[in-house]
Chains A and B, each alone.
Chain A
Amino acid sequence: MRDPVETNEDRYRALFREAARPVLAFVLRRTDDPADAADIVADTFLVAWRRIDDVPPGDEARLWLFGTARGVMRNHARGKVRRTRLGERLRAELESLAVADPAIAVTEVDAVRAALARLDELDGELLRLTAWEGLAPSELAVVLDIPAGTARTRLHRARARLRAELGERNVDDGHVPAGERVLAHDPRCQ
């Protein structure tokens, strides 16, 4: 019989090996300040270590980490995460990392970015998760903690709204029932 402590350790190392870079990329794409990204990645993996028993197996672990990172980012935006010594080295490295400056953008990209910014937060995130992380609707549902059917429907609407924002006016009415505003609280986030 394997030692359960060692099993958790091995599992965590494997999780980190597989998911650390995708999670770092996920966070870097969603934060302006690379130093903040270091804090958020560190906190996300700290949550994963403390809650290793809750981390789902297989590829769903990555989705769980994305969802957790979203919660950490939300806390960060609300000033609930402070700089710690954890991840100092990563922070120093990221601060010198040349991430594309959103201010320096070709016109089309700039227009798309602006159009995305005008969308509802959930709509924008559905589109970003699809395009940036390459997630399928069923995976969007895991990250965003919403029903898979809702994810599909909302993705369809989000695309329609983005087209509308980009000047293609073939969109449905754009009304979102209040009950679908599901992102106000993510129970996975401490």
Chain B
Amino acid sequence: MDDARLDALVASTAAISDDDLAGLDISGLESLVEEIMSRNELQSHPRRSVWPFRAAVSAAAAAVIVVALFAGQDLGRRGTAWAAPLVAMAEATPRLVVDAPGWEVTRADEFGADTGEMTFSDGKRSLELRWQPAGAAPALSKDRAASSDHFEPVTVLGEQATLYRYGGTTDYTTVWTDGDHALEARGAFRTLAAYKEVLASLRRLDANAWLDAMPASAVRPAERAAAVRAILADIPQPDGFDPSRLETSASVRDRYQLGAAVAGAVACGWIESWVRATDAGDAAAAARAVAAMGSSRDWDILDEMNPDGDYPEVLWEYADAMKTGAPVPAGKVMTVREAYRSALGCTP
């Protein structure tokens, strides 16, 4: 069989050809370009996240516990008394941890009762745990089975589970259901035995112990006011700026998220005062706002956040644009005054 015949055989296995698709009216595809470009704002793309979109300034913050985390601490040693709503939410999650020497929680993104994702690590290896509503289990299993070259039944915390190895890799994942949740624990390990050992060390904690296991970078409600004040220490604030709204919240946030909330609130205030001053022809007040925003490259919190996401860069982009009068990239060419509320998460 010559190459052309062989290629034709392979071509016959395609589910759809370019020509087939070219003839279809898919308006969702045409509208995607605008959807993407209109999302070119800070909230859409913190680099830190493995997920494509995670709101940096999330209106849903009250509904989910946001603890995207940088560093870990030993499990169960904090002994904090958690607010009742937080405990209630934790009660509804699987609350699993890797209970083995040296392992700690290193990341937990936007988790809630229905869905969540955490990463555990011992510094060399890591295990990612995800949970979703139990109804997702069949599709999850089917997808993993399609990607795997080995599978076997295992037991996880007394539940029947299926362990898969991604084809051609030493990435392993295990899928199981537990009550209301479909769970998956995935990691790259040298051997199947090493993965199984970590899988076997999963343990369920009570709500308080589980919340205690969150890394030190999570800002607890009781610590929040002090953290906000510390962040504001080197940031010039516009007249009438009231930080009290930032200081009170029942939710857990990590430093990045809190930093975005605080720096963003100040930046929004300055830009609003700049817009007002410009409209009123008050050149001195406008210049003060431009200078204050210009100092943002020296704000410690933005330096701290910069390796972990794009919020600082967007804020600096706006500061620069205020100074030069240049437009900002916001899905289309827009001025600072047109785009800043959406980009920086300003609330009216």
**Chain A residues within CB distance 8 Å of chain B:** 3, 5-6, 8-9, 12-13, 16, 20-22, 24-25, 28-29, 32-33, 36, 38, 41-43, 45-46, 49-50, 75, 77-82, 84-94, 97, 99-100, 102, 108-109, 112-113, 116, 120-121, 127-128, 130-132, 159, 162-163, 166, 168, 181, 183-184, 190
Given A100-B15, A131-B11: A5 touches B327 (CB 8 Å cut-off): yes
Given that A5-B327, A28-B15, A132-B11 are known contacts, is A77 also in contact with B45, CB under 8 Å in the complex?
Answer: no
B147 at the interface (CB under 8 A from A): yes
Min CB distance, B164 to chain A, in Å? 10
Contacting pair B36 A121 (CB below 8 A): no
- Name B residues whose Cβ lies closer than 8 Å to a Cβ of A: 1, 3, 6-18, 20-22, 24, 26-33, 35-37, 39-40, 45, 47, 50-53, 115, 128, 130, 139-140, 142-144, 146-147, 166-169, 171, 173, 184, 186, 327-329, 332-333
For the complex, what is the distance from the CA of A13 to the CA of B332, rounded to whole Å? 11
Chain B min CB distance to A180 (Å): 12
Query: Are B10 and A90 in contact (CB-based, < 8 A)?
Result: no
Contact (Cβ within 8 A) A87 B147: no
- Expressed in whole angstroms, the Cα–Cα distance for A94 and B24 within the complex equals 11
Given contacts A8-B329, A181-B168, contact A42 B36 (CB under 8 A): yes
- In the bound assembly, the distance between CA atoms of A36 and B327 in angstroms comes to 36
Contacts A38-B28, A50-B40, A93-B28 known; list 16 others, CB within 8 Å: A46-B36, A49-B37, A49-B40, A77-B143, A81-B52, A86-B32, A87-B35, A89-B28, A90-B29, A92-B28, A93-B26, A93-B29, A128-B10, A163-B1, A168-B1, A184-B169
**How many inter-chain contacts with C-beta < 8 Å in the A-B complex?**
170
Residues of chain B within 8 A (CB-CB) of A94 are 26, 28
A181 to B128: give the CA distance in the assembly, Å.
25
**Contact: A91 with B28, CB < 8 Å?**
yes
Whether A86 contacts B36 by the Cβ 8 Å rule is yes
Please state if A25 and B17 are interface contacts (CB–CB under 8 Å).
Answer: yes
Which residues on the B side are within 8 Å of A49 (C-beta)? Answer: 36-37, 40
Question: Which 10 pairs across A and B sit closest by C-beta, in order of nearness?
Answer: A90-B28, A89-B28, A131-B10, A131-B11, A16-B33, A93-B28, A131-B7, A77-B147, A113-B13, A100-B15
